[in-house]
C-alpha cells in the first residue's frame, strides 16, 4: 500500500496497517484522487475522546483500554473536519464516538429483545435534544453523554443552527425507531424505502450541518439549498453510506440485520450476493465520479459569492472550506473501514457479537 500524505503538522500519523484490501472493496480512484490528511490535533483528540468515554461511562474501562484506539472513531473525524478549531473538532469527535456507542446499544436492545428499554431511551434522547442542560447528569450514561455533546455543539453558532441540528437529529432518532421495528419484525425494506431510511440513520444532514461550525460560519439558507452545494454534500454522504454497506455486509448478514442495500437488493430485486456486491460497488463508484463533477460546480458557485464585501468573502470562503471537507470525507471513510476493528468480523470470537460492545442496557441486565 502506498504512503499517504497526512497533515503537514509535526503530529505523527496514526498507525496505518498494511492491510490487503479485497478487490471487491478496493477503490483505486479514491486512493489516487482523494489524498488522505488528518487534523493536526488528532493525537490529542484520540487521547481526550478516550478519556471522555471513560468519564461518561459510555464504555467499560476494559473495553476502552482494549478497543477504543483500534476502533479509530477519532481518526474518522480527524480526517474529515480539517480546519476546525480544536474545541470544535473535539466536540465533534466525542459526539461521533457517542453515536457509535448509541448505534451499538440500539443493536443490542434488538438482539436481546429489550423494546421497553429502547422506547425509554428514545424518549429521553428526544427530551435531551430539546433541553440538554437538564440531562448532563442523567443516570443513563448514554443520555448524559448525549446531553454533554449537544451542549457543546450548541455553543458554537447560535440558535438558528441549533434548531436546525435538533430538527435533523429528531428525525435520526425516529429513523432508528423504524429500524428497531423492522428488525424486530424481520422486515427488509424495499430498495427505495431503504435508501430514504439510510439517509436518516446514517445522519447525512447531521454530518453536513457540522461542516459549518468547522468552518466557523453559519451558511445562509439560500447557500445551503443551492443545487450545487446540496448535490456535493449528498454525494459525499451517499458514498459513505453505500461504502459502509459494502464493507459491513458480512457483519450484518451474520447479525441478522435487515438494513443494508445489499440485503434489500437480494430480497427484493432477486440478486445473488455477488450481484448485490457488484451493484453496491457500481453505486459507490458512481458517487465518486458524480462528486468530482459537483465539486467543480460548487467551486464556481463559491466564487460567485465573493462580491467584494466582507460578508461575501466570508461566505465564499466558508463554502470552499465546507466543500474541501466534503472531499475529505471520501478518503477518511475509505480508510476507516479498513483500519477500524468495527469491521474485522473474521477476527471476532462470535461474528454476531462485536467484542467492543456492552450487552447491558442501562439499569437492565
Active site residues: 99-100, 202, 342
Closest CA to 357 of 109, 126, 159, 151: 109
The C-alpha angle 87, 61, 340, rounded to 5 degrees, equals 65
Q: Are 108 and 357 in contact (CB under 8 A)?
A: yes
The C-alpha cell 480526517 sits at 79
In this structure, how many other beta carbons lie within 10 angstroms of the beta carbon of residue 330? 26
Q: What is the largest CA-CA distance in the chain?
A: 62
**With the C-alpha atoms ordered 78, 84, 86, 89, is the resulting torsion angle positive or negative?**
negative
Give the count of alpha carbons within 13 A of 32, CB side only.
7
What is the rounded distance in angstroms from the CA atom of residue 148 to the CA atom of residue 74? 17
In this structure, how many other beta carbons lie within 10 angstroms of the beta carbon of residue 166? 16
Q: Are 268 and 191 in contact (CB under 8 A)?
A: yes
What are the beta bridge partners of residue 96?
none
| DSSP single-letter state for residue 364 | B
At 247 the three-state DSSP class reads helix
Amino acid at each position: 500500500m502506498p504512503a499517504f500524505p497526512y497533515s503537514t503538522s509535526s503530529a505523527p500519523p496514526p498507525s496505518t496497517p498494511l492491510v490487503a484490501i479485497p478487490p471487491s472493496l478496493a477503490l483505486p480512484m479514491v486512493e489516487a484522487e482523494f489524498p488522505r490528511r488528518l487534523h493536526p490535533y488528532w493525537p490529542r483528540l484520540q487521547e481526550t475522546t478516550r478519556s471522555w468515554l471513560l468519564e461518561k461511562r459510555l464504555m467499560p474501562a476494559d473495553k476502552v483500554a482494549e478497543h477504543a484506539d483500534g476502533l479509530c472513531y477519532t481518526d474518522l473525524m480527524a480526517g474529515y473536519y480539517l480546519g476546525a478549531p480544536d474545541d470544535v473538532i473535539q466536540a465533534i469527535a466525542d459526539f461521533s464516538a457517542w453515536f457509535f456507542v448509541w448505534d451499538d446499544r440500539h443493536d443490542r436492545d434488538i438482539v436481546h429483545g429489550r423494546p421497553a428499554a429502547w422506547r425509554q431511551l428514545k424518549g429521553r434522547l428526544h427530551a435531551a435534544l430539546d433541553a440538554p442542560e437538564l440531562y448532563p447528569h442523567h443516570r443513563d450514561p448514554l443520555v448524559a453523554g448525549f446531553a454533554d455533546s449537544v451542549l457543546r455543539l450548541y455553543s458554537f453558532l447560535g440558535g438558528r443552527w441549533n434548531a436546525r441540528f435538533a430538527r435533523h437529529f429528531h428525525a435520526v432518532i425516529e429513523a432508528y425507531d423504524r429500524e428497531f421495528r423492522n428488525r424486530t419484525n424481520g422486515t427488509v425494506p424495499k430498495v427505495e424505502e431503504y435508501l430514504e431510511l439510510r439517509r436518516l440513520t446514517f445522519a447525512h444532514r447531521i454530518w453536513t450541518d457540522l461542516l459549518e461550525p468547522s468552518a466557523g460560519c453559519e451558511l445562509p439558507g439560500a447557500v445551503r439549498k443551492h443545487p450545487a452545494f446540496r448535490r456535493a454534500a449528498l454525494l459525499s454522504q451517499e458514498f459513505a453510506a453505500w461504502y459502509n454497506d459494502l464493507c459491513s455486509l458480512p457483519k450484518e448478514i451474520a447479525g441478522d440485520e435487515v438494513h443494508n442495500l445489499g440485503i434489500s437488493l437480494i430480497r427484493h430485486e432477486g440478486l445473488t450476493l455477488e450481484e448485490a456486491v457488484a451493484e453496491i460497488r457500481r453505486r459507490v463508484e458512481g458517487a465518486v465520479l458524480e462528486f468530482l463533477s459537483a465539486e467543480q460546480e460548487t467551486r464556481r458557485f463559491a466564487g460567485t459569492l465573493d462580491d467584494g464585501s466582507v460578508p461575501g468573502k466570508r461566505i465564499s470562503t466558508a463554502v470552499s472550506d465546507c466543500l474541501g471537507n466534503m472531499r475529505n470525507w471520501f478518503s477518511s471513510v475509505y480508510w476507516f473501514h479498513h483500519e477500524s476493528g468495527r469491521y474485522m468480523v473474521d477476527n471476532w470470537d462470535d461474528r454476531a457479537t462485536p467484542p467492543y460492545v456492552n450487552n447491558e442496557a442501562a439499569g437492565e441486565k
